[in-house]
Amino acid sequence: MTARVPPRVEIGGSPYEIGLQHGRLLAPQIVDQLSIYRELFQEACKFNWDTVRGVAAEFRDSIGRLAPHLLEEMQGIADGVCSHEIEGEPGVDVLDIVALNSRSEIALGQWDDGCTSLAWGIHAQDSRKQILAQNWDWREGVGKNLALMSITCPGKPQIWMVVEPGIVGKIGFNSASVGVCLNAIRARPISTSLLPIHLLLRIALECESVDAAIASIERLGGAASSQHILIADRDGSRGLELSPLGGIYLREDENGILAHTNHFLKNKLVDEPPWLSGSPIRLERAATICGQLIQELGHNRLEEIDAALLRARFFSDTTNSPQAICCSPDPSRSAKIQTLFNIVMTFQREKQPFAEVTFGKPGSGEESCVYRMPW
């Protein structure tokens, strides 16, 4: 993937206004995303777009019941896209946008995206630094559409995310120092009566703490599909192994570390067949690298761990390539999946939260420059 300058989009106002700005500012990217996912659904699931929209209609009803403000935002996105005249595009309505936001659920676990996430609470002499980070691995074609987004809504924390255009929630953090990462899980069942995972990511980012986010997710009934959200604030991290049948919450180890890949560690409530052979290997490799850093630096120097060091030592790791922490396309498969971006968020008391983002594979020499959020 060739590194490029991502759009930096600042939007705000009411839910509908936020969506309208999103749709207007990223209309070409949203149209391209719809084209990509039409092909993906047909290729991987044998679903035509009418079938996808039929399932999206079920999710629209659930979203309207459980998170009406986000359905308003999706309507705004659709209207914003339609305000542009884009050649060859037949028109976009809210069901198309709902389909993007529930893509993981509609696919019924048939897609094979990976990701490696890491939370590390580091204690210095008189302070604590919480790191939350991940490589996001997905289809190469999506990479060109990714954007950096800031959302301001009255009465809620300001949000900064790396987004797939058209989707209301993704990987990022807020002004209250609450951040989220995501690991896809392939398991059954799926429930259209609950909220898709990308909406739960957004709802978590509208909260002031990890505990408040967990309470919000529980109040809404949990997730429509099996997914893992790694969430952190200034005080620590939790791993939320969510499913329609219930959630299991993981805690940090004795070193303040919590890593996750693409299989559940403790949630045995769902049917999860083995599907991504590299996932356990990446998880073991994550533990090894963290152990090496602790041994090399000693506990007195762990505060030196930052985004640059993690990109160099952790997120650029190619052990077991192509299914490595730094993922490359597998030449034996038609699906071209690789690490599309890396994000490292840092939270500390009495300091503004921030993140460093690079697009492309860390350490490859082809990745982008470092982008900082807030910018």
The answer to whether 276 and 112 have CB atoms below 8 angstroms apart is yes
Strand, helix or coil for residue 204 = helix
Q: What are phi and psi of 64, to 5 degrees?
A: -60, -30
Reading the block at residue 210, the tokens are 């990890």
Reading the block at residue 33, the tokens are 């995303």
How far is CA 266 from each of CA 228, 241, 243, 258, 269, rounded to the nearest angstrom? 11, 8, 12, 13, 9
- Which amino acid is present at 260? H
- Which amino acid is present at 369? C
Q: What is the pLDDT of residue 1?
A: 46
- Among candidate residues 100, 248, 113, 219, the one with its CA nearest the CA of residue 169: 100
Contacts of residues 304-312 at CB distance under 8 Å and 24 or more positions apart, as own/partner, are 305/120, 305/122, 305/131, 306/131, 306/344, 306/346, 307/133, 307/344, 307/346, 307/355, 307/356, 307/370, 308/356, 310/118, 310/131, 310/133, 310/344, 311/342, 311/344, 311/358, 311/362, 311/363, 312/362, 312/363
Reading the block at residue 174, the tokens are 């807020």
Reading the block at residue 350, the tokens are 């009495």
How far is CA 74 from each of CA 77, 91, 220, 231, rounded to the nearest angstrom? 5, 15, 19, 24
CA distance 357 to 122: 20
Reading the block at residue 348, the tokens are 């500390």
**Prior bond to 15 cis, omega within 30?**
no
Q: Mean pLDDT per segment of 10 residues, for the chain of length 375 residues?
A: 80 98 97 95 89 96 98 98 72 96 83 84 87 96 97 98 98 98 94 97 98 98 97 98 98 97 96 87 98 95 96 98 94 86 96 98 96 97
- pTM for this one? 0.96
- Which amino acid is present at 10? E
Q: What is the pLDDT of residue 89?
A: 60
Kind and range of the H or E run holding 271? none
The answer to whether 214 and 202 have CB atoms below 8 angstroms apart is no
CA distance 41 to 24: 25
The answer to whether 263 and 276 have CB atoms below 8 angstroms apart is yes
Kind and range of the H or E run holding 307? helix 307-313
Q: What is the pLDDT of residue 107?
A: 82
